[in-house]
């Protein structure tokens, strides 16, 4: 049983976390390059948040959204 858990440890530490170790080492030499992935993820999330809000506004303007509190059976 111990070998099984050591195998899981080896999988994560030696293989799956290698890109994160690379980013941690890169941060010491270039902060901007190390954090570019975070900034890209933030920009993508911000874009889709704005997109989702615009879609909700479209549905609300067309009166397609049922805002009655009994719209779902578990609310009544």
Q: Render pLDDT for 22-76 as a digit per residue (tens, 0 to 9).
A: 988 998 999 998 899 899 999 999 999 999 999 999 988 888 776 666 666 666 5
Residue 47 tokens, joined? 């874009």
Q: Which contacts qualify for 1-7: CB closer than 8 Å, 24 or more apart?
A: none
On whether the CB atoms of residues 47 and 40 are closer than 8 A, the answer is: no
* Residue 6 domain flag: yes
* Residue 70 domain flag: no
Give the pLDDT of residue 37. Answer: 86
* Residue 7 domain flag: yes
* Residue 43 domain flag: yes
Q: Which pTM was predicted?
A: 0.58
Q: Which domain holds residue 11?
A: 2-63
Give the pLDDT of residue 7. Answer: 95
Backbone φ and ψ of 62, nearest 5°: -85, 5
Domain total of the chain: 1
Per-residue pLDDT at 10 exceeds 90: yes
pLDDT band per the 50, 70, 90 thresholds, residue 15: very high
Q: What burial class does residue 34 get, using C-beta atoms within 10 Å of its C-beta: 0-12 exposed, 13-18 middle, 19+ buried? A: middle
């Amino acid at each position: 049983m111990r070998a099984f858990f050591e195998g899981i440890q080896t999988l994560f530490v030696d293989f799956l976390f290698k890109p994160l170790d690379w980013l941690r080492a890169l941060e010491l030499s270039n902060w901007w390059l190390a954090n570019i992935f975070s900034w890209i993820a933030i920009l993508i999330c911000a874009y889709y948040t704005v997109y989702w809000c615009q879609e909700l506004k479209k549905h609300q303007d067309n009166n397609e959204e049922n805002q009655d509190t009994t719209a779902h059976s578990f609310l009544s």
